[in-house]
Chain A
């Protein structure tokens, strides 16, 4: 039973990590119908920003809690500005182009950012500072749930609640929902669609940056390539849950994380990805729009 609980928590942690990234994919897709392949790189840039800020601050001897908060804010701001800029440079000029063009532009952006970080920083793995300390009250159950797992789970829940609040109750949230339903109509009723799209990119990128910070301090290392696999997995989770749907992204991520964890635990980690993607295929066969996705009739 202990073993089951351990695997359950390891799956939940993994799922929460996926969820923080998957939300960015799903929000952007919901608004402009674009798969933002550069999103994984935004996550990586968030981790790098946090790394640089945290390293500098720890040299100056700041207390840990201050480092976490400042590094977190810096990562969110920096990543958001990247997300905002990418949208303006790579996607906005192509908004009325055929659907394939922004997709290629997104892939190009992803490759560009990876190589940019590779050249500007290093190709080596860098040790990420331990931003999350071992809490004494977690010690009795540290072998099941670590302090970092706990922080990741709690942060994810807080972020989800905040996001739901923004989307449900704020003006910008309403505008987002309107834009996602019908962009032309939203423009006609006076919503500044460009601003809504920018806001979406900013929020999505901020979430990815939080994810970057949490995951990097969980596994203790970063390099320029971490965004790729994280992006692919999170994208899979978003599709699983129904891309465009926010609760769907969270659900999909948790299912993906748990599947991987239990597949490793009870079968073999050799087949971790096999199980994850078989599940994806299976769900898409029976529910092509994902678990919580709405089946839409595309006007072609």
Chain B
């Protein structure tokens, strides 16, 4: 008796297991493989992990609603530690395991290194954080999209702010001759010329790390500029603003994301007050952003980190594109949807331009007030 029961139990279990495993096996080809690439370990992991978490939260929601066109979404996560030389391996591994779309990579250098591999495989890649201009402006990577504004978008943002918001016409553009600052300054100059309003009265590069910027500050004064637009990082910016204060110059100072750093305020102290800097768009008023943040808090019991909203948005738009394309993950089909459909996301209503940059994702201007950066309304 005992034997028969256990025998039955055995056979039922075996049958059940078979029955369960059979569909699982046949589904294996029917999942949508969603790749996540970025730094998930090492000293830059804090840039990559929030994005991976965002993707998982969104995908879980989709899967809970039955997936896309009956297909579940399967996550394949690979670590690139933000290193270009490792990113190529990461990309190869993801491509060979058959990913259909990729969220990543996080760092610009790693993304640039990995892109050729995805391009050859015709896979859609969307980064929440890589801001290098080359990725979209060079036209080399038709399969690349991003939900963060490119560096170059800061130039028009700074100039529009100085001319339209502050109402200043005479602009001195200063840069640090570096890879980051100089293109920004050149972009700013072009934008002033294109805009027609305003006038560039001074355009110069300074040597980073120099001991004294008095001469250039005197020159700014002599040029009669009403506003200084600076392309570069915070160490030079803080030296310039302190010397401007010392020389009793109250010319306004508008700068970029490289200056929107708390170290700038710490180093420049009181001289930092009233300095304007461009920074990633402020989404704090967007209800979807608040909702996404709540979801993260519910799941992990802490505040999300860098690029969380951008990654959340990227995952939503990619999955939406697959859905609208009828479950297809072909690059051409997805591109068509991405470039025509507007999707509401935590970073605003997003669609993409021909280059792959998100329309409607930009920079906000911040100002130092009482030792803190606050958004300029």
Contacts and interface: CB of A to CB of B under 8 A. Distances in A.
Contacts of A218: 212
A262 B214 CA distance: 11
B222 interface: yes
Contact of A221 (B204, B214, B216, B235): B235
Contacts of A124: 263
A220 B214 CA distance: 13
Interface in A262-292: 262, 264-265, 268-270, 272-273
B237 to A, nearest CB: 11
A220 B242 contact: yes
A118 interface: no
B222 A3 contact: yes
Nearest to A142: B248
Interface in A151-190: none
B22 interface: no
A229 B239 contact: no
A265 B212 contact: no
A14 B213 CA distance: 9
A9 B271 CA distance: 22
A269 B212 contact: no
Nearest to B248: A143
Contacts of A13: 212, 214
A234 to B, nearest CB: 10
Interface in B78-133: none
Given A148-B246, A220-B267, A10 B207 contact: no
A127 interface: yes
Nearest to A261: B215
Interface in B209-262: 209-212, 214-216, 218-219, 221-222, 234-235, 238-239, 242-243, 246-249
B219 A264 contact: yes
B269 interface: yes
Given A142-B246, A269-B205, A229 B210 contact: yes
A219 B248 contact: no
- Chain A contact-residue range equals 35 or more
B211 A7 contact: no
Contacts of B266: 127
Interface in A6-59: 6-7, 9-11, 13-14, 17
Interface residues of B, number: 32
A229 B239 CA distance: 15
A269 B267 contact: no
B206 interface: yes
A6 B246 contact: no
B218 A269 contact: no
B223 to A, nearest CB: 10
Interface string A80-113: 0000000000000000000000000000000000
B267 A126 contact: yes
Contacts of B200: none
Given A261-B215, A264-B215, A221 B247 contact: no
A249 interface: no
Nearest to A211: B211
A258 to B, nearest CB: 10
B219 A265 contact: yes
A219 B205 contact: no
A7 B215 contact: yes
Contact of B263 (A11, A125, A262): A125
B239 A220 contact: yes
A14 B243 CA distance: 13
B177 interface: yes
B214 A14 contact: yes
B313 interface: no
B206 A127 contact: no
A3 B215 CA distance: 10
A272 B210 CA distance: 11
A255 interface: no
7 contacts: A215-B211, A219-B211, A219-B243, A226-B209, A229-B207, A268-B204, A269-B204
Interface of B: 177, 204-207, 209-212, 214-216, 218-219, 221-222, 234-235, 238-239, 242-243, 246-249, 263, 266-269, 271
